[in-house]
Structure 1
Amino acid sequence: MTRTYLPLDAADAAKYRTRVTLLGTAGGPPWWDGSDRTGISTAITVNDAVYLIDCGEGWGPQFRKSGLGPAGFQKGLDNMRAVFITHHHSDHMVDYPNLLLLAWHNGSDGLKQPIQIHGPGDRGALPPIFAEEKREFLPEVFHPESPTPGLVESSEKLLQAYALDINDRMRDNAKQDLREIFEFHDIELPAGTGDDPNGNPTPGMEPFEIYRDDNVRVTAILVDHRPVFPAFAFRFDTPDGAIVISGDTGVCGNLVTISEGADILLHECIDMDWVDGLMGPDSPKPDPNLMQHMLAAHTAIEEVGPQAEKAGVGTLVLTHLVPGNTPPEKWQKAQIGFSGNLVVGEDLMHFGLGEPRD
């Protein structure tokens, strides 16, 4: 029987060996009026080592505010151990370059070990064009030489784009080579999985290990965020319990599989009433292209609870909220169909797992 967990303030959360911090809880690229939620990003801390999941807009200042890293000038990232990217949509990666380029200035005397960064590999095929037969003009392929790069290639090209700054810092300020600070990894899918990203992007499968150290074991599974592929959910098994981060997904059996028995499930959520009013067939500006993506690739308020119930999780935390300005009481409807503890996530909300340390 899993325990339930309630939000803690930063001081109380720091008493726990394992804790979860919501750095940012807004989903989607738009800037939401009337909301102070920042872009999607989460930190898991075990024995003071930090594991970052996604790099949405503003994650860096939020990380600083969270108090997870050491305070002081040019400190902060010293205890960051690894980074995990759920998928390559911009709202999950827009501030990824900040991690790479600002590490020099926010880590003291060279980082203790290379930060391991894991993310989706090359998609392998371009996604289909939605409603191609109805389009007057078809889009040209952007960067046809490599139109679907994975994390390793994207990271290398980002560093190349900032070559002027990097060379200047290394030559003028004697900064450490960035290639010694980070190690990049494409997440390799199990053999025979993902051969047809435009057909069945989420075949039933078991979670597979992508990372392990003395604090955590991290497993991944494909989730349904079509046409984006690969898109992952991650599970962090720690000495004090298990945390699952859904990534962006529609209702998906694989998400239930990886979440079974987890202590905390952080799950994305979308307000479909807002979607229908903004772009549905009876709205002032119908947008069938974006509408079909919202319906298929995200999980509605009324769908989240039953997913968590099937998995038997103790605490369901809603995050990646679209739109970011939906009133909290509406998100509370996700309790329907879920017998556990529901928490509507807020920026800089903390959870402690296990028992507090003396």
Structure 2
Amino acid sequence: MPVLEVTLLGTNGGPPPLAGRFGISSALVVNGATYVVDCGRGAVSQYVRAGLSMPSLTAIFLTHLHADHTVDYFSFPLLAGGASGTRGFSEPIGVYGPGPSGHESGVAGAPGPVPGTVEMTRLANRAFAAHTTFFSSEHFGVDPASMVDVHDVLPPASVGASLTETAPPMEPFVVMTDDNVRVSAVLVPHGAVFPAYAYRFDTAHGSVVFSGDTARSDNLGRLAHRADLLVHEAAAAEALPALGLRPALLEHIRDVHTDVADLGAIAVAADVGAVVVNHLSPGALAAEEWQSLIDRSRENAGFRGEMILGEDLMRIPVSARAAR
């Protein structure tokens, strides 16, 4: 079994449910420990379907707080926290996600600042208080919030990031380290979202970068420099008009995501070993059409590494280029 491997739990881009692809979520396994990046629709079910060990779950990283990246996050502690045997995890896992943005809430009846990851977790636990209370009254189950150690990730103050300057030029900063990985991040541009992060996992066996949702970004290029694997989101810009999307949504997708046509050039500039094309928008576009767009992007840029079309439950072994 590879000592470093990425499993794509879900590859669909955007909130609307799609039968053929689950919501965006990936898992990185290193030395038997599992780290999940984003928790889109069905992440827990896909984790189990992939045969990943629930007791091995070590940490969750959220790139940003759009629902298609977070909707199944609290399901991990709610459904598996404290569950017996191989069905759950018995020690608290780390959770790392964006801190408060400074945005004021646009939700009717919920005034005040938009919550970051810590407050989102507290509110989710409160929403499911009936579940926890009923089980605890029968003397089993645990408080889900006790099974997560949650950290709000904010960029260094020196970067000067703000609601109006969401991804200024910056160097990567360290988010977390343990015996298996060092995790670094940079801010990436994703429309009104702040903060939005890309993450890099450096291990003794190789390095993997997850772009999160982003328009083309020099920050991401710095983070991904000479990574062994870049897992990058993609929008098929030329296929979007045929979907009949509202003009505002069409403009949004084009402005805040990365055109698949640019991925080859991004890979060359960052000098990465290989690219996995993920968070596919539109996810319903036929695989052969996606593959054609990916091949063209690779050939036009002269990228010599692999560019792989992501599919749900795909496993990608990773090794350091120096060892290959």
Q: TM-score, normalised by structure 1?
A: 0.82
Q: Please tell me whether residue 345 in structure 1 is matched to residue 287 in structure 2.
A: no
User: 1:291-327 CA distances to partner (integer Å, 9 max, x unpaired)?
Assistant: 2211110011111111111100011100100111212
Amino acid at match of 1:125: H
* 2:100 alignment counterpart: 122
| Maintained 8 Å contact 1:215/1:238 | yes
Higher Rg: 1
Q: Which amino acid aligns with 2:12?
A: A
In structure 2, the gaps of 5 or more residues are: none
Structure 1 distance, partners of 2:71, 2:77, is 12
2:186 match: secondary structure: strand
1:237 aligned onto 2:214: no
Separation in 2, partners of 1:239, 1:62: 27
What SS does the aligned partner of 2:278 have?
A: strand
- Equivalent pair of 2:82/2:142 in contact (CA under 8 Å): no
Counterpart selection for 1:288 from 239, 247, 263: 247
Aligned partner of 2:35: which letter? Y
Q: Is the 2:81–2:90 Cα contact (8 Å) retained in structure 1? A: no
Query: Is the Cα contact below 8 Å between 1:267 and 1:318 reproduced in 2?
Result: yes
Cα distance in 1, alignment partners of residues 210 and 118 from structure 2: 22
Q: CA deviation at 1:143?
A: 4.7
TM superposition score normalised by structure 2? 0.91
Distance 2:89 2:2 in 1: 24
Match of 2:22 among 38, 46, 53: 38
The answer to whether residue 118 in structure 2 is matched with residue 152 in structure 1 is yes
Given that 1:211 and 1:218 are in contact with CA atoms closer than 8 Å, whether structure 2 keeps it comes out as: yes
Q: Residues 1-358 of structure 1 correspond to what in structure 2 (within 5 A)?
A: 15-32=1-18, 36-69=20-53, 77-104=54-81, 106-108=83-85, 111-126=89-104, 142-193=108-159, 195-198=161-164, 200-279=165-244, 287-332=246-291, 333-334=293-294, 335=298, 336-337=300-301, 338-354=303-319
Give the deviation of 1:163 after TM superposition.
0.7
CA contact (8 A) 1:263 1:313 kept: yes
Distance between the aligned counterparts of 2:160 and 2:140, measured in 1? 44
163-172 vs 103-112, greater mean Cα deviation: 103-112
SS in 2 for 1:235: strand
Instruction: State the shift of 1:126 in Å.
Output: 4.3
Rounded Cα–Cα distance in structure 2 between residues aligned with 1:287 and 1:126: 26
Q: Do 2:11 and 2:280's aligned partners in 1 also have CA atoms closer than 8 Å? A: yes
Matched to 1:92, the amino acid is H
Counterpart amino acid of residue 154 in structure 1: M
Distance 1:155 1:194, change over 3 A: farther
Match of 1:168, SS?
helix
Distance 1:107 1:312 in 2: 44
Give the superposition deviation at 1:182.
0.9
Deviates more, 1:290-299 or 1:204-213: 290-299
Q: What percent identity do the matched residue pairs reach?
A: 39
- Look up the SS of the partner of 1:354 in the other structure: coil
- Cα–Cα, structure 1 residues 64 and 204, in superposed 2: closer, same or farther, change >3 Å? same
Q: How many residues align?
A: 313
Task: Give 3-state SS (helix, strand or coil) of 1:50's partner.
Answer: strand
Q: CA deviation at 1:141?
A: 5.0
1:144 deviates by 4.9
| Amino acid in the other structure paired with 1:99 | F
For the residues of structure 2 that align with 1:179 and 1:90, how far apart are their CA atoms?
20
Q: For 1:117 and 1:143, locate their aligned partners in 2 and report how far apart those are by CA, in whole Å.
A: 28
The answer (yes or no) to whether the contact 2:17–2:23 under 8 Å persists in 1 is no
Cα pair 1:141 1:147 within 8 Å, conserved: no
Going from structure 1 to structure 2, the CA distance change for 1:207 and 1:107 (only over 3 Å counts) comes to: farther
